[in-house]
Chains A and B, each alone.
Chain A
Amino acid sequence: MQVKEALDKYGRTADKLIGAMLAYQKSTPCNYLTEDDIKEFSRETGLPESRVYSIASFYSLLSTEARGKYIIQVCYDVPCYINDSVNIVNELEKILEIKMGQTTDDRLFTIEYSSCLGCCDKAPAMQIGATLYGNLTKDKISSILSTYRGGKDE
């Protein structure tokens, strides 16, 4: 998807900007907005570059740094924490050989902390794309990751 295409679909007014940026970002291989992207959103909408950048940098689902194809969002908050989410993070870091916030060398996975995913009844939880994974155990992690390595759609 091109920046223009996203704006054609969502509209070029300020209230459509976040939606267009999210959709465009999702279509990029590395899940982020480059400086050139920000400039193009600015040119196309007529909004100042500073305003577009202020949005890209404020919201946690938008990124200005390259990330992986699949973003693994692990819940950081108390209901998951007291159900041992720390072990889930350790297991992800061990299997993927990266630390929280980093991206694998093959650009397939990024692990990020997320604020509460609204899945506290199945804590600990994480989300990849639109799929929520609950009642996680260390054992479940490697099988979940392998489905994505096999090219699973989000």
Chain B
Amino acid sequence: MSNKEITKNMLTARFDVINPDSIDEYISHNGYTALKKAMSKTGEEIISEVKIAGLKGRGGAGFPTGLKMEAVSQADGSPKYIICNADEGEPGNFKDRYLMEKDPHQLIEGIIICAFAANINNGYIFIRGEYINAINIMEKALEQARVNGYLGDNILDSGFNFDMEVYSGAGSYVCGEEFALLVTIEGKQGRATYKPPFPTTVGLYNKPTQINNVETFCNIPHILNMGGKEFSKIGTDSSKGTKLVCLSGNIVNPGLYEVELGVSIRDIIEKLGKGVPNKRAIKMVQLGGASGPVIPENMLDIKLDSKEMSKLNLNYGSGAIIVMDDRIDVLDILKRIIEFFHHESCGKCTPCREGLTQMLILLDRFTDGIATNDDLAILEILMETMNQSSICGLGQAAPTATQKVLEYFREEFTNKINSTDSIVV
């Protein structure tokens, strides 16, 4: 299989072809044609196309986008809001930054189409504060869209009014969580809340709110342009379309690649990434980012396919692939990951706040060579508790990598158990 057969440039087709600062270049490369098509349809028809396309959210959770659009459009309450979640902070991910910096109008067009479908008049693009370039590029693009009549009152003489603004985050990973993001926009500390109700019914200022990831919105113009049925032919039965993959770590050619869903992780690493420098062996690969699972080398033939992966309790998440060669110290990497979550935990719920502190203490016992069998048992119970009882995805997913290490590389822990005595404090 050649590179050309693995990569499929749809969302990235205009990257480095057009000048992102120029709306004219976007328009001359098929830009805003999908919006015109959308405006000749009803909201129900647009939502139906997205459902037929089979698009699932690209932020990591993989919720069907059409169902989310339908839920917001049918929810009671006014005004409704639409929010683009560009709070990309998951270590290992940089796809949303590139989508905003290299083709900002593709994103804007996708958001406008969704707003039109659910008759929403106000929106935000919530960009993490560290992404200063992306913020500047998106603000400029929004202004150009306004000047050209794609935003504002009576868009393209349709009678539809819609505008949106960039909201800069201020440095907090947890704000990528929907409710933490919403309360941040409301000017409060970004802390998560119990679900349900979901933002589709009780969102920003308690009004129905559609929140989608950057890449998800960027798929919408393509669905409108080619039709849901054609779109659904890309990918596999359970995973439609393309996926932006962020390849990093110990890899010859790190970078952003767009692939058709269904490609194997091994093909991405070997054919696109050109393998590990100095032909070293791969120890493990983390999928999706810090909150994602790790897998050993002998599982790399698994495909980016939600059904196949879920059988092994895996998922490709937001598309990060972090390759680690045989020089790494697995427990040292796990400590880095847990330190990240410990720093980013909002501190609201006990399982996450205290659980992460205790995880670090336990991991230290293993690296210090004073761990016992009891420590291992306690660690496993602790992680299960965090999974089950943390309020939001941060605390629920923080132990994932550690749990997968215990599943696939258990000896990394058991080799470091010093004695079988009960816990020594």
Contact = CB atoms under 8 A, between A and B. Distances in A.
Contact of A61 (B129, B250, B337): B129
B256 interface: yes
Contacts of B339: 76
B133 A130 contact: yes
> For the complex, would chain A's binding face be called helix, strand, loop or mixed by DSSP majority?
mixed
Contacts of A98: none
Given A116-B90, A117-B130, A78 B254 contact: no
Contact of B336 (A22, A55, A73, A81): A81
B172 A59 contact: yes
Interface residues of B, number: 51
A78 B92 contact: yes
Nearest to B184: A18
A120 B248 contact: yes
Interface stretch (B187-195, B369-377, B392-400): B187-195
B188 A130 contact: no
A114 B130 contact: yes
B349 interface: no
B88 interface: yes
A15 B132 CA distance: 19
Interface in B260-300: 286, 290
B215 to A, nearest CB: 13
A78 B89 contact: no
Interface residues of A, number: 40
Contact of A116 (B92, B169, B254): B92
A62 B187 CA distance: 14
Interface string A6-44: 000000011111110110000000000000000000000
A88 interface: no
B324 A82 contact: yes
A115 B246 contact: no
Interface string B67-105: 000000000000000000000111111101100000000
Contacts of B333: 78, 81-82
Given A14-B186, A60-B171, A76 B340 contact: yes
Interface of B: 88-94, 96-97, 129-133, 136, 167-173, 184-190, 246-250, 254-256, 286, 290, 320, 322, 324, 328, 333, 336-337, 339-340, 343-344, 346
